[in-house]
Amino acid sequence: MSATLIRLAGPQDCARVSDALRALSHDTNDTHRASDALIAAAGFGAHPAYLALLAEAGAETVGLALFSPFLSTTRGKVGAYVSDLWVAASQRGQGLGPRLLAGVRDAARSRWGAAFLRLAVYHDNPRAVAFYARLGFVATAGEHWIALDGAPLEALA
């Protein structure tokens, strides 16, 4: 088996990023609504909204971390929001998830001075909850994330 390498994705990797995100959606039983065109434009267009790290074993993509910067005024720091983390079933339990998160930490620190990571985890995914807890992730007391989308977003004055 070849060594697993982690690298920053570039425009030539749109299909790999898209395939990994589809695999993540499949693994979590989520509806996958992001088109290949959206993934390409959002990551590699004129104003990128994310960076991606790819983990590769030979020619096979076996992991992905998608992340973006944000400013926390309450922490007084820039952080990196990890919107997606995926490890292929064949690679789970071998340390690839923590390696991807370490790569996010390092890339976000060097680009934006990020001093912490934030992510969301589904409550109904106990393996993921336990994985993040083992790494030291903790819920932020008093925070409850909410979203505004669709017609209510458009109705804002």
**Could you tell me the two tokens for 109?**
């620190």
pLDDT of residue 143: 86
Q: Alpha-carbon distance 108 to 1, whole Å?
A: 30
Per the structure, the count of domains in the chain is 1
Amino acid, single-letter form, for residue 46: A
φ, ψ for residue 54, nearest 5 deg: -110, 140
- The domain spanning residue 66 has which CATH number? 3.40.630.30
pLDDT of residue 2: 66
Per-residue pLDDT of the chain (157 residues; tens, 9 = 90+): 568 999 999 999 999 999 999 999 999 999 999 999 999 999 999 999 999 999 999 999 999 999 999 999 999 999 999 999 999 999 999 999 999 999 999 999 999 999 999 999 998 999 999 999 999 999 988 888 889 999 999 999 8
Q: Alpha-carbon distance 2 to 7, whole Å?
A: 15
The answer, as to whether pTM is greater than 0.75, is yes
For tokens 């690679």, name the residue: 91
Burial code (b: 16+ CB inside 10 Å, e: under 16) for 89-100 equals: eebeeeebbebb
Residues 60/31, Cβ–Cβ less than 8 Å: no
Look over the chain and give the mean of its residue pLDDT values, rounded to a whole number. Answer: 95
Domain extent at residue 121: 4-154
